[in-house]
Structure 1
Amino acid sequence: MSDYSPGQRWISDGEAELGLGTILGCDFRSVTVLFGASQETRTYSSRQAPLTRVAFGSGDRIQAAEGWSLTVDDSKEVDGLIVYIGEDDRGELRELPEAQLADTMQFDQARDRLLTGQVDRNDWFDLRFRTLHHFHRIEQNPALGLAGPRIDLIPHQLYIADEVARRHAPRVLLADEVGLGKTIEAGLILHRLLLTGRAERALILVPASLTHQWLVELLRRFALEVTLLDEQQSQAHGEANPFEAGQLVLASQDWLFANPRRQAQAEACDWDLLIVDEAHHLEWSDELVDPGYACVERLAAAVPGLLLLTATPEQMGLESHFARLRLLDPDRYHSVERFREEEAHYVEVAEAIDAIERLPGGAGDRERVAAVIDEPDSLALLETLANGEAGAAQRSAARDQLRDQLLDRHGTGRVMFRNSRRHVGGFPERRLHVARLALPSSYRRVLRRLERDEDYLDELLIETGLDHPEVLVYLDTMYRALADDPLNTEPWWQFDPRVTWLLERLADTAAGGFADDKVLVIAHDRETAQGLAEGLRVLGGYHAPVFHEGLSLVERDRAAAAFADEEEGCQVLVCSEIGSEGRNFQFCRHLVMFDLPLHPDQLEQRIGRLDRIGQRHAIELHVPVFEGSPGEKLLRWYRDGMDAFSSPHGVGSEIFTAFGDALADALLDDESLAEVIEETRALFESRLAERDAGRNRLLELNACRHERAETVATAIRELDEDRALPRYLDQALDIFGVDSQELGGGLLHLQPSPQMLDGLPGLVKGEEGFSATFSRRRALARDDVQHLSWEHPLLREMMGRILDGTMGNTALALLKHPSIPAGRLMAELVFRTHCPAPRRLHLNRFLPPTAVRVLLDESGASLTDKVSFTGLSKNLQKVKKAMARDLIRSRHDQLRELIDRGESEAERELSSIVEAAQRRMRTELDGELNRLEALALHNPAVRDDELQALRDERSALDAAIDGARLRLDAVRVIVTVGEETR
């Protein structure tokens, strides 16, 4: 009882966050403490109370409950209470009884915690120092933000993500061909921007059919948890703005574009990034702007960053493509005619780039290059390249610089990234299989009347309500529309030979059959898909889920999941046209086009569901057609006119604009069709040659610079293979209370222990936890296995808690060494750079938290260079907390002197750290600023606000780095002991 007196100030060893406590009362059995700041009262056993008396010494700065501060010079004891004596902020001598200390005084700093007797475990101190070390090097790695996601290291995806995510408020169009990974590119950009602090809030708008797919992809590949917002969720927020409910919000375009109130709420929020998928659906012209385009236009004007995604940027022609670029930069893209003129110039630039590769040889090559440049720096590079006497290394450097300058300064390559299969390579073969079937009488009688009677087509269009040429191509749709015809007495699927053909293929085990293979079937019309599924069930006993626009999102996902399940999933999935957008079915190799779409881009969208990066098999395209029907003629136009089934070409929209009407008129006339196919082929080959020589050539050259991509991939591989990661994670899991079990095959299972600290991502007490691996290859092969990396949320959370909190910032250990007498004291001090700056600056790439270690003996002599951290840690032994507190209490004055001496030692290192950070920052940002300022003179795609933002960023970073200071991050007291000490 004599140890405690009412009014004394103590802190809880186990609950330091409670703040400064006051003894209310005590007796022989218990002691009661009030923690005023947290309004908590605790009662402890007086013999084993986990409490430490707070006692300040000379030089300490303390706060009074009334708000003033005192620098302690001396103290005295009055009736068991300490009275501090010192100078206040005005320099006046005052006294402050400990009972009048502010309850809110914090003891987070290592110095305060140590001198008040709060010490942590030695392994916590070790983990803190190692965390600082690893965090320092990871934050400077060029692959930061790109190494953690569960993706293959595909060059063009890495290049685009690295290039775009480096920019201030990036505004770009991701327009890779179908299957090249636009969603992955957008996810990588978002992940890096979030990890580096350049973005905190993002709004993602996707078609309704893709919301759950995006939700799952962002979580599975990027470990990003997003808020999926719909009307039901919005109403649950009452009058509050539902878009404020999360940092990352995913919403359906269909829902938002149809709801002006929700649009206004979305526009009222502060977003850093807007992502819009399938952006080709946004329609704009000088005469008409659809509601979706108008909504995105208003958001894009207010949100700094914008990513538009589309595989078919020119689906509706050049004006449609211009509309997307106009969203990115309305000042730069304000005139369709001017944009058309610019495109005409791209052929000359592409030819000049090809000529650069041939220099110094090649007649006329120098003139081709000179014709498109007039800048002194470019002309000087050309002279070097054309000089036959220049060294090989000198010419190679000049060639690279000149090529990069032309790519930067011409074309839309800075705002649009489009890779093609031909450019990327590695895609499987496409094989077309055409099944010619007899035309059933129910369809034939209508077509024959159309051939005899020219006016009957007009009557049919009025009678069915269908459009031309849909009424000719989709015969089952026409049959259903003529329901009042007395001859139409049975469902179309009972007599349509395409259904019988499909059932035969599904059961056929011979070559060309589908037995045991997954089969995706796509039809143009929703009713056709539903009828086909019914026919497969009734006539063949096949359960085929139907994927169409009338289903809810959950029903669509359920249908897709039933198809994807390898063990118990269904063999066939039947989709309406909506199934050809966005969904990834690359696990399947058979695509049955039950009918053909009328637009070439829709045809490519269908094939692109299977023909994607990662597809390991040839794509088998099956098209059943009726002999002599308009559907067969449409197939001939696709196949013979533009090789539409062999590979994507990107000119389908232009071809359709030129010949769509003529094709519709020729579907009942073989002679006219032959002319249309011949003219289509001529235009197709001509446009393909022009595009390959001009804009497409520039885009391909600029969409993936392989040297840069390989640099990023190499940095990612280094992090993947970092041997320090498993060792660090093993130590961290043990300290945070997570059980780790080896499963074999490079797999681990992580599960919470009863002692686990709360709030770790993916781990909840009482639940199973998750399986994980350090291998990227294994993680990609198994969706149920997480990829452990330095960027995994669990690692980031543990490292953040250590660096932002007090865990391990004090410790006391014993050292036995035969050459060191017992009773000697050493202080191991870890100082850390402190450099406050807004997260958006991403200061850590130049000056991450940097540790400066100082090891002093009791005389103040430095042992830092003589004794390493690892070497010392191996020989230390733990000590009980009670003994540690006694040792600290007995050496207060000495420890204060050593900490002050350590600060002086560490300060000597600060100037070199700051200089190195300034040098790194200026080298990178000055080079980028000079490049962009030169580029802005020739390419208006470089925005003024982007240049100013970079200048402001450089200035802010310069000031922040210059203001860097060192602060004591952790301290370990080491006491030498004799052999007999326990």
Structure 2
Amino acid sequence: MSDFSPGQRWISDGEAELGLGTILSCDQRSVTVLFGASQETRTYSSRQAPLTRVAFDSGDRIQSSDGWQLLVEDSKEVDGLIVYIGEDAQGQLRELPEAKLADTMQFDQARDRLLTGQVDRNDWFDLRFRTLHHFNRIEQNPALGMSGPRIDLIPHQLYIADEVSRRHAPRVLLADEVGLGKTIEAGLILHRLLLTGRAERALILVPPSLTHQWLVELLRRFALDVTLLDEQQSLAQAESNPFESGQLVLASQDWLFANPHRQAQAEACSWDLLIVDEAHHLDWSAERVGPGYACVDRLASTVPGVLLLTATPEQMGLESHFARLRLLDPDRYHSLERFRDEEQHYVEVARAIDALERLPAGDGSDGENRGRVAAVIEEPDSLALLATLTNPESDAHQQESARNQLRDQLLDRHGTGRVMFRNSRRHVGGFPERRLHLATLAPPSPYRRAFRKLERDEDYLDELLIETGLDHPDVLIYPDAMYRALTEDPLNAEPWWQFDNRVTWLMERLSDDGEHGFAGDKVLVIAHGRETAEELAEALRVLGGIHAPVFHEGLSLVERDRAAADFADEEEGSQLLVCSEIGSEGRNFQFCRHLVMFDLPQHPDLLEQRIGRLDRIGQRHAIEIHVPLFEGSPAERLLRWYRDGMDAFLAPHGVGNELFDAFGDALSEALLDDEALEEVIAETRMLFLSRLAERDAGRNRLLELNACRPARAEAVASAIRELDDDAALPRYLDQAMDVFGVDSQELGNGLLHLQPGQHMLDGLPGLAKGEEGFTATLSRSRALARDDVQRLSWEHPLLREMMGRIIDGTMGNTALSLLKHPAIPAGRLMVELVFRTHCPAPRQLHVNRFLPPTAVRVLLDESGAVLTDKVSFTGLSKNLQKVKKAMARDLIRSRHDQLRGLLAQGESEAERELPSIIEAAQTRMRSELDSDLARLEALARLNPAVREEELDAMRRERRALDTSIDGARLRLDAVRVIVTVDQDSR
């Protein structure tokens, strides 16, 4: 019966949780199996299929797909298929073909391995039982998926990741300001969705300059192995779809958006999650849709979950911001005009929340604030909460609870946080001071002549635009570009950096150890154009012998990463890095505190992006911003507009794009006219203050309140800390490494070096045989301080692999031991049975959060007496001794019939525990999902941001979980036979 035939029933040796499989098709090369209970299909090589044929013996009880049971008495084979013969529950003789077996049946490997004399080591059995115990509690921990990543426990990041990853197919815009950790939030969401089974495949699209940064971050922080796909990799898979080459695929936006063929291949794949970084670059307007936006739009229409990341959601205007939201929910965001109208409603809700905070508890006399709250609520439950808050007969606890619940309801039902999360630095707090240092320099003669002529001759600007081919106002604010463009013979002309005293100023500061010097410090230098950056680095080398790596768009990804790594090296790296504008987007240089703006960008958002490379969460120093300027130049006037018109150097404010749209043209005209400039600055200042007031009153105020709810964030952080401090982890790790053959060496200071042992089992992550292994720590703080040290947690791939291999395989599911005890006569037999719950369900249901594999231990002596409560697992294990396998097989053979009887009795004893386990799991599930569903249904009545498909998915999930949990069964997971011996036996 070793040949495959359609209709036969087999189980997976490595994935027993899939349930009973049916052979769909087979040929000389492959065999395809359908696992109906878990809705999974697998294809294996016919020669090396990790499958075991299911064949039941006389006395076994089996179940049909129609629900009736059969006590097997005999069997026969018909066309390669087994037909079982026996009696049903009514005592009638019936036949049951194997194709009609229930998909939820499990082949009891422990029982059959034991009865055929296959026994494992005692320490393997012990580890299996402890693995089940720890896996059970870890899977139910609310921090599952959040505790493993190498991150600081920052409240707003934890809140957003927890809130979004709990949703069915989340579709959100992560729009935290620069430096607040959007990449970490996206990584946390992805990590948790993968760990809980809610996602298996993800496509991550990022700007080309950030592909390697994402690759490294996902591996270093989240231990996620990502496939980086480009054209070279795609061509190497010419006969297949390259997007099928990995579960997690990372690709450059520029590469994909420019290639319709690759887009079609990406769209042909099945994805669970789409992540798009720097989403504000997706070009859309009512008149024209850019290729990047169109590509993401098509993908988003088929991919269930979508995360869009941007620090500047309104950089391209409200219309472009609307386009981003339209990608997430086209039904909800179908009208731009309606979207504009909704903005006005947010002001009323924000005022109501502020009024709620001011409303005295137990005092109904404050009619003004009470009226503002009542004006935006009409639901009975909200009105009842308001009445409780203002009722003098309510106690303080009731009043405070009512206030908190009412605040949450206002944010949920009327806010914007369902689709967009935006934290600001002002709201998060803890950011460093920014200090602006201006260096006003006399312009060199080539620049001075041009500046004077521009101010005297109105026509000279037009001549310059024609002669240089530069845009306005580039020709005014980038004098080196103007000089370069006007040079008729570039090879023989004096280069601009020979006379540009900004270069001299920079070299002097690099060696200056005074108050404003850079001596001994890292310095990031940003210039607008690639040519300026390249030539500035050349100037530093020629004039000062200073090596400065360059980072610009013309470099390959490897070259960019090499330049960034050189700059980041504390001991032997370069003191400064010279970047073009591209260096101000996406990269994290928070180890540096000096930023030199060699010139100024034209757009306020680009200015903020430059500063944001250093001013990030975790920065421990004040940000020193240095700007060298030529006295009386257009660039000096531009700086005055930034500084005096909108406080652009002090802190991010998020309204720069609107100010630029309103005054950009007037500003360009005023760069040569001080009088006109003062007028532009005054008008800009007025609109700036007005917009800040509106922002604080309306949608952004709601976003800030909703983007981090401190109590919820602290609950998540507390659950993570509980797992961090779990005393069982180091004990389990030591035992598991000993069983799997991993050598561990203490390095001191909480560090361990793990390496493959001489007899290590194959396939452990990071520990391939012949390799050196890796250094690790259990401490979160030590892992954060050292990039070369991995952090071991319950979620680390090494732990997950070892636990998964034990739970899903046969390792340690049988054992035989000797027990020496003066009170027990020699030759007596005991069996220790470990049953576990089996609940086949689609992986995306994540049934383990309510009913993970749960162990039920039963200890019987040979007379059938139940000793479970009298003898603990630990107490028994430490007194057991190993026995040679040959002797074990003889003992089992001699007690075969007795063991069958004890196995049957043990099953009956364990079955008594099952109803209470199922009831507890149902209670947990209903308690969580019913309240979540009720909340979401209440939201949907008032807040259109709740999608109907999200409600339907939650209802389907609730029904499916109810059915799956109710259908849970116990199966024998492991059995240990214990034989007593004389005290002097060896």
TM-fit CA distance, 1:628: 0.6
1:373 and 1:812 map into 2 onto residues whose CA distance is 68
Q: Do the aligned partners of 2:108 and 2:972 also contact (CA within 8 Å) in 1?
A: no
- Name the structure 1 match of 2:898: 894
Superposed counterparts of 1:323-402, under 5 Å: 323-360=323-360, 362-402=366-406
- Name the structure 1 match of 2:411: 407
TM-fit CA distance, 1:455: 1.6
- Name the structure 1 match of 2:166: 166
* Pair 423,475 (structure 1): closer, same or farther in 2 beyond 3 Å: same
For residues 512-534 of structure 1, the C-alpha deviation after alignment (integer angstroms, 9 at most, x for no partner) is 11111110000000000011000
* Pair 162,107 (structure 1): closer, same or farther in 2 beyond 3 Å: closer
Superposed counterparts of 1:466-505, under 5 Å: 466-484=470-488, 489-505=493-509
Q: Do the aligned partners of 2:257 and 2:292 also contact (CA within 8 Å) in 1?
A: yes
- Name the structure 1 match of 2:67: none
- Name the structure 1 match of 2:424: 420
- Name the structure 2 match of 1:446: 450
SS at match of 1:512: coil
Q: Do the aligned partners of 1:418 and 1:703 also contact (CA within 8 Å) in 2?
A: yes
- Name the structure 2 match of 1:572: 576
For residues 673-726 of structure 1, the C-alpha deviation after alignment (integer angstroms, 9 at most, x for no partner) is 111111111111111011011111100000000100000000000000001001
- Name the structure 2 match of 1:842: 846
Q: Give the counterpart letter for 2:95 in structure 1.
A: R
Q: Do the aligned partners of 1:855 and 1:863 also contact (CA within 8 Å) in 2?
A: yes
Q: Does 1:865 align with 2:869?
A: yes
- Name the structure 2 match of 1:909: 913
- Name the structure 2 match of 1:276: 276
TM-fit CA distance, 1:500: 0.2
- Name the structure 2 match of 1:737: 741
1:737 and 1:324 map into 2 onto residues whose CA distance is 51
Q: Provide TM-score, normalisation by structure 2.
A: 0.90
- Name the structure 1 match of 2:534: 530
Q: Do the aligned partners of 1:284 and 1:320 also contact (CA within 8 Å) in 2?
A: yes
- Name the structure 2 match of 1:102: none
- Name the structure 2 match of 1:614: 618
Q: Give the counterpart letter for 2:470 in structure 1.
A: L
Q: Do the aligned partners of 2:175 and 2:311 also contact (CA within 8 Å) in 1?
A: yes
TM-fit CA distance, 1:784: 0.4
From 956, 962, 967, the equivalent of 1:958 is 962
- Name the structure 1 match of 2:700: 696
- Name the structure 1 match of 2:785: 781
TM-fit CA distance, 1:186: 0.1
TM-fit CA distance, 1:355: 1.1
2:496 and 2:589 map into 1 onto residues whose CA distance is 28
TM-fit CA distance, 1:363: 4.6
* Pair 487,677 (structure 1): closer, same or farther in 2 beyond 3 Å: farther
Return 345-354 or 59-68, whichever deviates more.
59-68
- Name the structure 1 match of 2:805: 801
TM-fit CA distance, 1:444: 1.3
2:128 and 2:504 map into 1 onto residues whose CA distance is 69
2:748 and 2:251 map into 1 onto residues whose CA distance is 41
Q: Do the aligned partners of 1:523 and 1:577 also contact (CA within 8 Å) in 2?
A: yes
- Name the structure 2 match of 1:228: 228
Q: Give the counterpart letter for 2:419 in structure 1.
A: V
From 821, 831, 854, the equivalent of 1:817 is 821
- Name the structure 2 match of 1:712: 716
Unaligned ranges ≥5, structure 2? 1-12, 15-44, 49-54, 62-71, 87-91, 98-105
TM-fit CA distance, 1:488: 9.1
- Name the structure 1 match of 2:23: none
Q: Does 1:884 align with 2:888?
A: yes
Q: Does 1:686 align with 2:690?
A: yes
Superposed counterparts of 1:658-669, under 5 Å: 658-669=662-673
Return 550-559 or 488-497, whichever deviates more.
488-497
TM-fit CA distance, 1:466: 1.0
2:56 and 2:241 map into 1 onto residues whose CA distance is 50
TM-fit CA distance, 1:70: 7.6
Q: Give the counterpart letter for 1:164 in structure 2.
A: V
SS at match of 2:694: helix
1:325 and 1:679 map into 2 onto residues whose CA distance is 31
1:695 and 1:845 map into 2 onto residues whose CA distance is 35
SS at match of 2:652: coil
2:655 and 2:774 map into 1 onto residues whose CA distance is 47
* Pair 605,55 (structure 1): closer, same or farther in 2 beyond 3 Å: closer
1:966 and 1:554 map into 2 onto residues whose CA distance is 54
SS at match of 2:599: coil
- Name the structure 2 match of 1:583: 587
Return 382-391 or 265-274, whichever deviates more.
382-391
> Between Structure 1 and Structure 2, whose CA radius of gyration is higher?
1
Q: Do the aligned partners of 2:484 and 2:490 also contact (CA within 8 Å) in 1?
A: no
- Name the structure 1 match of 2:28: none
SS at match of 1:239: coil
1:928 and 1:154 map into 2 onto residues whose CA distance is 25
SS at match of 1:501: helix
SS at match of 1:611: coil
Q: Do the aligned partners of 2:85 and 2:94 also contact (CA within 8 Å) in 1?
A: no
- Name the structure 2 match of 1:138: 138
Q: Give the counterpart letter for 2:409 in structure 1.
A: Q
Return 308-317 or 411-420, whichever deviates more.
411-420
Q: Give the counterpart letter for 1:458 in structure 2.
A: D
- Name the structure 2 match of 1:311: 311
For residues 792-829 of structure 1, the C-alpha deviation after alignment (integer angstroms, 9 at most, x for no partner) is 00000000000000000000011111111111111100
Q: Give the counterpart letter for 1:547 in structure 2.
A: F
TM-fit CA distance, 1:239: 2.9
Q: Give the counterpart letter for 1:453 in structure 2.
A: D
1:262 and 1:562 map into 2 onto residues whose CA distance is 34
2:123 and 2:834 map into 1 onto residues whose CA distance is 15
Q: Does 1:968 align with 2:972?
A: yes
2:591 and 2:510 map into 1 onto residues whose CA distance is 17
* Pair 65,740 (structure 1): closer, same or farther in 2 beyond 3 Å: farther
SS at match of 1:833: strand
TM-fit CA distance, 1:90: 3.3
Q: Give the counterpart letter for 1:564 in structure 2.
A: A
2:232 and 2:490 map into 1 onto residues whose CA distance is 46
TM-fit CA distance, 1:754: 2.2
The number of residue pairs the alignment matches comes to 910
Q: Do the aligned partners of 2:84 and 2:96 also contact (CA within 8 Å) in 1?
A: no
Q: Do the aligned partners of 1:343 and 1:411 also contact (CA within 8 Å) in 2?
A: no
For residues 287-310 of structure 1, the C-alpha deviation after alignment (integer angstroms, 9 at most, x for no partner) is 011100000000000100000000
* Pair 107,642 (structure 1): closer, same or farther in 2 beyond 3 Å: closer
TM-fit CA distance, 1:489: 2.7
Q: Give the counterpart letter for 1:840 in structure 2.
A: Q
SS at match of 1:364: helix
Q: Provide TM-score, normalisation by structure 1.
A: 0.91
Q: Does 1:119 align with 2:119?
A: yes
From 510, 513, 523, the equivalent of 1:509 is 513
Q: Do the aligned partners of 1:57 and 1:72 also contact (CA within 8 Å) in 2?
A: no
For residues 570-605 of structure 1, the C-alpha deviation after alignment (integer angstroms, 9 at most, x for no partner) is 111000000000000001000000001111100000
Superposed counterparts of 1:14-33, under 5 Å: none
SS at match of 1:750: strand
TM-fit CA distance, 1:71: 7.2
SS at match of 1:625: strand
Q: Give the counterpart letter for 2:533 in structure 1.
A: A
Q: Do the aligned partners of 2:595 and 2:623 also contact (CA within 8 Å) in 1?
A: yes
Q: Give the counterpart letter for 1:266 in structure 2.
A: A
* Pair 469,916 (structure 1): closer, same or farther in 2 beyond 3 Å: same
Q: Do the aligned partners of 1:479 and 1:488 also contact (CA within 8 Å) in 2?
A: no
TM-fit CA distance, 1:483: 1.5
Q: Give the counterpart letter for 1:626 in structure 2.
A: F
TM-fit CA distance, 1:374: 1.2
- Name the structure 2 match of 1:206: 206
2:522 and 2:898 map into 1 onto residues whose CA distance is 76
- Name the structure 2 match of 1:90: 95
For residues 400-426 of structure 1, the C-alpha deviation after alignment (integer angstroms, 9 at most, x for no partner) is 111111101123211100001111111
TM-fit CA distance, 1:397: 1.1
- Name the structure 2 match of 1:769: 773
- Name the structure 2 match of 1:187: 187
- Name the structure 1 match of 2:938: 934
From 639, 648, 652, the equivalent of 1:648 is 652
